[in-house]
Amino acid sequence: MIDLYLIRHGIAEAVGEDLADEKRVLSAEGRQKTKLVARRLFALDVRFDTLLTSPLVRACQTAEILVQEQLAAKCEVFSPLAPSGTLSDLRNWLATQKSRSIGLVGHQPGLGLWAEALIWGSAQRGFEIKKAGVVRLALETPQSLAELVWFLPPKVLL
């Protein structure tokens, strides 16, 4: 059994004329809420054998907070979690792993589409995962359909 946690990055600075999307950082509010969500997950006994993050700054910062709050020993950049990544890349990676509890920090709409496709086999609209929200799925094998264990917006965890 694989426990897969899809975690949307925290609240980030707004896109501006001088700030490219991939360089956006977490806002002060985003850091604070993400830290509170991480602490609640820790209290719920959530721990990751493996924690992967999108290469975009705001996702990396979210993953770093999860590491600081002791949900994982370290995080690694996983390029398929970038907005252009594909679910097939994730499934191929999962097939090579022995990890049983995996955290994935990424973006919308990708994570929401992945969650829907993992559960039902295809995606139409995708789940709307709020910033710092978490979806927990259980998979028998990397290629099987997932069971939705929980889908928590951050306000439930705060």
Q: Is residue 20 very low, low, confident or very high in pLDDT (cuts 50, 70, 90)?
A: confident
CB distance 23 to 32 below 8 Å? no
What residues contact residue 33 under an 8 Å CB cut-off, 6+ apart? 10, 11, 131, 132, 154, 158
pLDDT of 102-146, one tens digit each?
999 999 999 999 999 999 999 999 899 999 999 999 999 988 999
Q: Pick the closest to residue 11 from 153, 140, 130, 135 (CA basis).
A: 130
Chosen CATH of 2-157 out of 3.30.1330.10, 3.90.1530.10, 3.40.50.1240, 2.60.40.10: 3.40.50.1240
Tell which wins on pLDDT, 57 or 14: 57
CB distance 69 to 44 below 8 Å? no
pLDDT of residue 17: 64
pLDDT of residue 94: 93
pLDDT of 63-105, one tens digit each?
999 999 999 999 999 999 999 899 999 999 999 988 899 999 9
pLDDT of residue 14: 82
